[in-house]
Each structure stands twice: as C-alpha cells, then as structure tokens.
Amino acid sequence: MEHYERLSKIGEGASGVVYKARDRRTGETVAVKRLHVGDGEYSLSEETFLREVRCLEACRAHPSLVDLRAAHHGPDDAGAFLVMEYVGPSLAQVMREDRAGRPLAEAEARRVMRQLLEGARSMHELGVLHRDIKPDNVLVDNRGDVKICDFGLSRTTDTAADGAPYTSGVVTLWYRAPELILGSRDYDAGIDTWALGCIMAELLAGAPLFRGRSEMDQLNKVFDTVGMKDMKSWPGFARLPRAESALCNRSRPPSRLREMFPALSAAGFDVLSGLLACRPDSRLTAADALRCPWFAEAAAPEAMPDQPLAPCGAFFTASVAGVAKAIVA
C-alpha cells in the first residue's frame, strides 16, 4: 500500500473506511477501502474481504459497476485493502445535500434508472446479489454517469449450492424488500430490484418513499402504500417466519402508489409499480424492466451538456433551453 498516497477520508461503514488516494506510480486518483480487522473478528473480516473481492472481480468492466483495481490482504496488523476506481460523490449526497430534496424530472430519473438497471442486470446474469443497493452505494461521476459500489454484503449465488440458506439481515432498512422483513432466507435478485424501485421513487419524490423506524414499522409503511395484493397467495408466504404477524392479517387499502406519483407517465408507472411489486415472484427483474416501453419513450437519448462542475459537486445542470437533462458531480 506504499504505492498510494492518502488524500482524504470519503466515508465509513460497518465493513471499513474508504479514502480518496493517489497512485504514486500513475498519478491516478483512486478509492482505497480498508476493511476493519482485528479485535477478535479477523476471520469474519477475512471472509467478508474474500467474498467482496470475488464479487467485484466477477463484475469488472461494466460501466455501471465500480471497477476493482487491486486487492491486498496483509498480516493481521496490516489489514485488508481494496483499491477501486474513484468516481465521485454518492447519489445520497447529491439528492439530499446538493439538491436539498428537490425531485428529478422524469427524463432525468429515467437516465439514472437505465444505468442502474443495466448494472443490476449484469450483476444478476453473473450470479451476484448486491444485497445493499441504496443511494449511498451509488456514485455519480463528472460526466453524469452512475455506478453501483460497495459490495461488502454481496455474495455469488453459486455459494448457495451447498444448501446453506442466505441471511435475511441484509439491505439497509428503507430499501429492504418485504420478504426480507418477513424473514425469508430463500430469496433471489428481486431484493435488489425492490431496492431499485425505492431509489426510483426517491428520485421522483425527492425523499425516501418508506422511512420506517423499525422493521415492523417499515413493513407497515410498505403495505399501506403498495397494498398486499396477491401477497398471501404467493406460494412461499405461509412459510415465512413472520407470516402470522398481525401486520400481515390487517385489512389494507388498494395501492396508493399511483396517487403519490400523478405526474409520472403510464409507462414510467409500469416500471415503478413493477419494481415495487410486494409479491417477489411478480416483481420485475432488471432485464424485464429494461424491456419496458418507458426506456424507449424518449425521442432522443438524454444527452448530457458539456458544462464545468459547479461548486460543492452540484448535481444537475440545466440545458440552454432550461430543461435539466444531466447529472454532473
């Protein structure tokens, strides 16, 4: 790691600390993630490190997924490091700080969602579940492109070949699919597409759609918003550990999703409601979502104007006509 000069701290999560750094050999700016090791948890961190490396290597070279440059696992006191491309601020920073909660126009949201879904489709085709997609784990570069990052909770589906169940304790609460809250340990890529539906709603509303204070509060908010249509007829529902919860047996109104997004086009709503289908076997896959008419709706590609960066990483800039067309960071 002597080849990298630490410049500044970018962020810190449960699995490690991320720094902005410079490669002394090439001058390239990179992101270096140091995983937490020691304190009696070394073996767990080592397993997490190896799993994250495996998932990042599987997803290399896709424009919507962060690229791994190098990985290093030293002695116990040296730690474990991942060197990745440096992209820019997170989508969460941009939406909640630079835009101060102002929603995106539909064309802007479509541009972001196209890239996120393309990244997710590639991940899933490669047999990788991200298991923590959220705005904090989406980065925005200076050309307006977005990339999914932080594969610390990811795993490859072939690791389940031994029959060991997945853990249900994944995905940050506000973006956690209902089957996870109900205790499912037999889930699939639908947990990632649910999270992408939550991000789509957040882009269009300017704020997270489901802001639960606990798992049960989160589930209640989900059911009150999208209803429970056909949920109980889902073949796996009765086997879920929390299927008998009072929340699952309460009378619910029909979905209120449409009235919450009245300006969204019919094609756009088909994508949103398909990603936020409560019943996982009815939920859109990333590949199916990309085939929806919404992504063919624009008369021309949502091209990004070539403009300099604004102070503080401002997110959207307006075109000459005054219509916001792009994301910059």
3-state secondary structure of 308: coil
φ, ψ dihedrals at 84, nearest 5°: -130, 165
Does residue 132 carry a catalytic annotation? Answer: yes
Interatomic CA distance for residues 183 and 242, integer angstroms: 6
Q: Are 8 and 21 in contact (CB under 8 A)?
A: no
Q: How many CB atoms lie within 10 A of CB 263?
A: 9
Pick the CATH number of 4-85 from 3.40.50.300, 3.40.1160.10, 3.30.450.20, 3.30.200.20: 3.30.200.20
Pick the CATH number of 91-296 from 3.40.50.720, 1.10.510.10, 3.40.50.12160, 3.40.50.2300: 1.10.510.10
Quote the distance between the C-alpha of residue 141 and its chain's center: 16
Quote the distance between the C-alpha of residue 321 and its chain's center: 32
Interatomic CA distance for residues 98 and 93, integer angstroms: 7
Q: Are 226 and 198 in contact (CB under 8 A)?
A: no
- Each domain of the chain, given as residue ranges in start order, spans 4-85, 91-296
Confidence at residue 42, expressed as pLDDT on a 0 to 100 scale: 43
Strand boundaries in the chain, DSSP class E? 4-12, 16-23, 29-35, 68-73, 80-85, 128-129, 138-140, 146-148, 155-156, 316-318, 324-327
- Catalytic member of 132, 136, 145, 150: 132
Q: Could you read off the pLDDT tens digit of each residue along the chain, which spans 329 residues? A: 789 999 999 988 767 789 999 999 999 999 999 887 655 544 456 777 888 999 999 998 899 999 999 998 876 666 789 999 999 999 999 998 878 889 999 999 999 999 999 999 999 999 999 999 999 999 999 888 999 999 989 998 875 555 567 888 899 999 999 999 999 998 999 999 999 999 999 999 999 999 999 999 999 999 999 988 777 888 889 889 998 888 888 888 889 999 999 999 999 999 999 999 999 999 999 999 999 999 987 644 454 433 222 323 333 333 222 223 322 22
Which residues have a Cβ under 8 Å from the Cβ of 78 and sit 6 or more positions away? 1
Confidence at residue 75, expressed as pLDDT on a 0 to 100 scale: 66
Which residues are bridge partners to 12 per DSSP?
17
3-state secondary structure of 156: strand
Confidence at residue 163, expressed as pLDDT on a 0 to 100 scale: 58
For the chain, the first-to-last Cα distance in angstroms comes to 28
- Which tokens is 51 given? 């799993």
3-state secondary structure of 12: strand
Confidence at residue 322, expressed as pLDDT on a 0 to 100 scale: 29
Give the helix/strand (H/E) hosting 328.
Answer: none
Length of the chain: 329
Confidence at residue 69, expressed as pLDDT on a 0 to 100 scale: 94
Burial class (CB in 10 A: 0-12, 13-18, 19+), 164: exposed
Task: Return the percent helix, strand and coil in the chain, to nearest 5.
Answer: 40, 15, 45
0.95 exceeded by pTM: no
Interatomic CA distance for residues 162 and 222, integer angstroms: 33
